[in-house]
Amino acid sequence: MYTEDKLSYNWVIKNAINNMVRSRVSMLSGKVLDLGCGTRPFEVEILEYADEYIGIDWNNTLHELRADIASDLNKPLPIQSASIDHIVSFEVMEHLREPGVMLSEAFRVLKAGGSITVSTPFQWWVHEAPWDYYRYTCFGHQYLFDKAGFIEVLVKPTTGFWSMWLLKLNYQLKQLVRGPRWGRRLILAVLIPIWWTNQQLGLLLDRFWREEHETAGYFVIARKPSAPTV
C-alpha cells in the first residue's frame, strides 16, 4: 500500500486510494498484471489473494525501475492475448499520451470475464512533467472503457469536495518550505499542524456535506465480457 504519514501534506489521498484498493484486492486472483507498477506498492497485498503478480513500467520512469517487464504503455504490450486474470493500474492513465491504446491492450490480454481496476487523479496539480497529459471526468472514464469493450463500468470518486480543496491548499502551502535547513524546519513546524487539521477537517466535512462532482480523483472497476455460451 502507499505509505501513510498523517503528518504529511497529502496523507488523505493516499489513505483514500489505499482504502479503495483494500475493498477490491480480495477479489483479485490468478495472474494479476500491474500496468505502470512504479515501486510496486500494492504487490504484497495483491499476492495475499493472487497466484502471480507481474509489474510493467517504462524505462523513463521517474521512480526506480522495478518492473518485471519494461514496456511503453502507449504501445502494444508484449503479453499474450487472453492470458491475464486481472489488471490493476493506479495513478498512471494521466501520464499516457494514448490512454485508449492502454485500455485496448488491457482488454486484449485479459481472459474472458477478467477485470480491470484503475485509479486516476482529477482535480490535481501537474506532476511528473512533462509526462502529464490528461484529467478524466467520470463521463470520460465511462466513454474510454466502453470504447475499449469493457462492461459493468463502475466509476467512484476517491474524495469529496472538501478533502480535494484542502489538499490543493496543502500542496500550495508546501511551496513555502524552502531556504536554509533551519528555515525549512521552522516553516514545517508551522505547516504540519495546518496540514493535519486541513485533512481531518476535509474528511469530516465530506461526511456531512457531500459533493461528488468535485473530487481529487476516480476509482474505476470494469470487466471484460465472459465468453459466449455455446
* Digit-coded pLDDT (tens) for 75-103: 999 999 999 999 999 999 999 999 999 99
Say what the pLDDT of residue 62 is: 72
Residue 155, C-alpha cell as written in the block: 466509476
Stretches where the chain sits below pLDDT 50 are 229-230
Q: Where would I find the beta strands (DSSP E) of 81-165? A: 84-90, 110-121, 151-157
Fold adopted by 11-160+211-223: Rossmann fold (3.40.50)
What's the pLDDT score for residue 140? Answer: 97
Q: Rounded CA gap, 115 and 53, in Å?
A: 15
pLDDT of 228 reads 58
Which grid cell sits at 186? 521552522
What pLDDT score was predicted for residue 229? 41
Where exactly are the structural domains of the chain? 11-160+211-223, 162-208
Q: Which of 184, 208, 44, 22 is closest to 117 using CA atoms?
A: 22
Residues whose CB falls within 8 Å of the CB of residue 83, separated by 6 or more in sequence, listed in order: 31, 109, 111
Q: Answer for the pair 20, 119: CB distance below 8 angstroms, yes or no.
A: yes
> Helix 181-208 vs helix 161-174: angle between axes, to the nearest 10 degrees?
170
